[in-house]
Amino acid sequence: MLNERMYHYGAERSVIREIFAYACERKAALGAERVFDFSLGNPHVPAPPAVRASIERSLATLSPAALHGYSPAGGLPEVRAAVAASLNKRYHMAYQPDDVFMTVGAAASLSCALNAVVTPAEEVIVVAPFFPEYRVWIEQAGVRMVVVPAQAEDFTLNLDALASAISPRTAAVIINSPNNPTGVVYTREQLSQLADILRAANNQRQEPIYFISDEPYRDLVSPGVEVPWLPELYEHTMVCYSYSKVLSLAGERVGWVLVPGTMPRSAEIQAAVAGAARALGFVCAPVLFQRVVMDCVDEAADMTAYERNRATLAEALRSHGYHFVEPEGAFYLWVQALESDATAFCNRARNFELLPVPSDSFGISGWVRISYCVSLDCIQASLPAWKALAESYRS
């Protein structure tokens, strides 16, 4: 018998992937340089040279079994040790290799973290706008997604609304900062206040509410912007990280979940993460790229390219009368559509070969996401089209 839910997840592709597929068709028809695909968060900046060096070293020195064979389910011990050591250095912690479980990107990290701590009939709180795949991962974990809108004016956390959304069924809150799609980075003050709200709620219940911190953009921030280390602020925090964006390795599928050994019941939660990875088929992240992580744990792709892209796009859009959130991190511009229906706006944008993503699947209406991790040439070539699109609303 067909599993209807799986059928729908597969048959109804995400809006982002739909637009990406449309972009590929248009590029084939018109030529790549005439189509402005701002859909996927697929980094254009090359991986740092250390990535190639690591791969070449592995190819030159390792036995076939070490090169392409299975690793332990949670990753090679030396890789987990390298990640733990890097976190200890950066955040002054004392994590052990066992606190880190290597996964197949943040998608798998999130799924493992969720499945480790939720049980049927519970709820997971997300802040809107949110990464659309959260809905799939949360539903697949068998629980209900509770959507709490961010502050309307600046998309920071709405603490009163979050406090009101907490119920005896709340199992976890997903925090994504720097945020996809808004580029907002939550401040230490806001996150500490949210931690206090959760602690107060925990006093009324047996099981704690978990923070699941989704951090693929942690290292993509404007100079001087702090991304607070959440486990420091709240003891029941799991961190989900990925090398998709920081090392430009989105297609290689590698990341990790951290369950700090300092977390109450950490050994059981770590075992549950391992169990979730086993149940979901996410064990043994790609071994070649585990070694890349070990060798490049403190490396990053050239983030100045994103700064340049953002400055170029933001300046032009501002001059054409668009209203957008000034991003502090990630590589997305969150722009108010020029009509209330974001999908209608995106359809009109297609006439100019501009392909942003409407906000509806992110959980709010009236906005679009422009993914600016494309080439500067693409951004510059798109500017007359953004101008013409704005003018089409004035005429």
Nearest-angstrom CA–CA distance, 149 and 132:
14
Compute how many other C-beta atoms are within 10 angstroms of the C-beta atom of residue 119.
Answer: 12
Q: Among the residues of the chain, which ranges form H helices?
A: 4-11, 15-30, 49-61, 64-68, 77-91, 105-117, 133-140, 159-165, 188-202, 230-233, 266-280, 287-295, 304-319, 342-350, 376-394
Residues 215-244 that bind ligand PLP (CB under 6 A): 216, 242, 244
* Single residue of 131, 306, 334, 362 touching ligand PLP by CB under 6 A: 131
Stretch near ligand PLP under the rule CB under 6 A, chosen from 77-85, 105-113, 140-148, 371-379: 105-113
Lay out the site mask for ligand PLP across 37-56 (x = CB under 6 A, - = otherwise): ----x---------------
In whole angstroms, the minimum distance from the beta carbon of 176 to ligand PLP comes to 5
CB 126, min distance to ligand PLP, A: 11
CB of 372 to ligand PLP, least distance (A): 14
Q: Which residues contact 190 (CB under 8 A, 6 or more apart)?
A: 156, 157, 159
Calculate the alpha carbon distances from 78 to 61, 62, 102, 161, 294 in Å: 16, 15, 11, 43, 8
Task: Tell me the residue number closest to ligand PLP, measured at CB.
Answer: 105
Interface characters, 237-276, with ligand PLP (x: CB under 6 A): -----x-x-----x----x---------------------
Q: How far apart are CB 332 and ligand PLP at their closest, in Å?
A: 9
CB of 157 to ligand PLP, least distance (A): 16
> Measuring CA to CA, how many Å separate 93 from each of 84, 101, 240, 308, 390?
9, 17, 17, 34, 50
Interface with ligand PLP (CB under 6 A): 41, 105-107, 131, 176, 180, 214, 216, 242, 244, 250, 255
